[in-house]
Amino acid sequence: MSGATKSASPSCQLLQRQDDMFERGDTTEPLWAVAPPQDAWLMAQVQGVISADHAVLKAVQANSKVAQSPFTQVSIPNDARVVLFWPKAHELGIWWLKWLCEHLSPGATINVVGEHQGGIKRVPKVLTELGLNGDKIDSARRCSLFATQAQPLEPPSDAAWKTFDALGLTLCSHPGVFGHGKFDEGTALLLETLAHKLAKKKRRILDVGCGDGIITAWLAQRGHEVTAVDISEFALEATRKTLEANQLTGRVLASDVYQALDDERFDLIISNPPFHQERDIHYGAAGRLISHAPSHLHRGGQLILVANAFLPYPERLTLAFDHFEVLADDRRFKVYWAGSR
């Protein structure tokens, strides 16, 4: 696994020390990364990647490597060295472990790596609680690497799905989905505002960052033609399940904001956009949502979004649109309306 390319990810820097772990005699076992970061060194090493992050899957495909979503038919070679990158969300890490135990042969090695500040130190306890053995392999760069062996576990990974009710809708949620298992306060303010603002005529609407699908389902229930997009396969699957649970229809697409929509236009774009990337505030997706919205709106179209009150969206809205208004403000969240040029 040696090479000239250096890793940017601390977890991958730790793996880079483990040449002997991935080599057996004169043959090198294929490396399969599960839920990995985008890292140039790692992309050069892997044969395949399993991820729920659409951006990661696209990057892997661009490198002519195998890229699979956990919600498609997955085939991992029997001789693969599997490395799970422990996620920040604790429940999601447990789900990935159970999912891997269901997709690997009993006794197959599962390596688990992650940053200390991302929760990797809790892995030994997690393994014990699941009834799995665990060995510490290495620790450096404020990261740790553990190894365990796959075995059948109960309850199955599908038990991680949660169903709850909000606004007369049945919502389906999965670890890794925004606001997992609860009705987000910002979304509640957004929908309360929309109930007064939205015209009753049928509209073509885009829900950017669909999460568990509550905005999409709420709009579809009112007769609108809704397209839901998200970069997370967990969110897309949750939205599909939410629509099905409420016997509603909508189009659900994997897309990094507008990336999969080409030149499609809508009457209305609605979003509760993310602003976190891991532990950092990050405005990339929200910035593109706002700046590129006019090119995806019909004449007279509108953008309506909800955001934490402290976020600097007014200046971005001013640059992209002729004018905007604050439709609601409860001091924690603001609902913005902007009109197209």
Question: What is the per-residue pLDDT across 13-60, written as a single tens digit (0 to 9) for each?
Answer: 999 888 665 554 445 689 999 999 999 999 999 999 999 999 999 999
- pLDDT band for position 278 (cuts 50, 70, 90): very low
pLDDT above 80 (res 327): yes
User: Which is it for the CA torsion 46, 52, 53, 54, positive or negative?
Assistant: positive
DSSP per residue, 254-319:
E-STTTT-TT--EEEEEE----EETTEE--HHHHHHHHTGGGGEEEEEEEEEEEETTS-HHHHHHH
The percent of residues above 70 in pLDDT, for the chain, comes to 92
Statement: residue 137 has pLDDT above 80: yes
Cβ-based neighbours of 108, under 8 Å, separated by 6 or more = 78, 82, 149, 150
Per mean pLDDT, which range of 50-54, 122-126, 204-208, 281-285 is the poorest?
A: 281-285
Q: What is the pTM of this model?
A: 0.91
| Gyration radius of the chain's alpha carbons | 22
User: Can you list the domains of the chain with their CATH numbers?
Assistant: 10-157 (3.40.50.150), 161-339 (3.40.50.150)
Confidence of residue 277 (pLDDT cuts 50, 70, 90): very low
Closest to 226 (Cα-Cα) out of 246, 241, 243, 247: 243
| pLDDT-wise least confident of 90-99, 233-242, 284-293 | 284-293
Quick one: pLDDT at residue 55? 92
Q: What is the predicted pLDDT for the residue at 22? A: 54
Strands (E), the chain: 23-24, 27-28, 31-34, 46-50, 66-68, 81-85, 109-115, 135-140, 143-149, 162-166, 169-173, 204-208, 225-230, 251-254, 266-271, 276-277, 280-281, 297-308, 323-329, 333-339
In this prediction, residue 70 has a pLDDT band, given cuts at 50, 70 and 90, of: very high
Q: What end-to-end distance do the CA atoms of the chain give, in Å?
A: 53
Q: What mean pLDDT is reported for the chain?
A: 91
| Cα distances (angstroms) measured from residue 268 to each of 204, 217, 220, 250, 255 | 7, 15, 13, 15, 17
- On whether the CB atoms of residues 19 and 50 are closer than 8 A, the answer is no
Task: Specify which residues 101 forms β-bridges with.
Answer: none
pLDDT score of 276:
43
Give residues with Cβ within 8 angstroms of 162, minimum separation 6.
172, 173, 174, 180, 181
pLDDT at position 140, please?
A: 93
Dihedral (Cα; 209, 210, 214, 217), 10-degree rounding: 130
Measured distance CA(216)–CA(252) in Å, rounded: 9
Question: Among the residues of 46-180, which ranges form H helices?
Answer: 54-62, 90-103, 123-130
Instruction: Check if the beta carbon of residue 341 is closer than 8 Å to that of residue 295.
Output: no
Helix (H) / strand (E) containing 133: none
* Mean pLDDT value across residues 155-166: 96
- What confidence score (pLDDT) does residue 299 get? 93
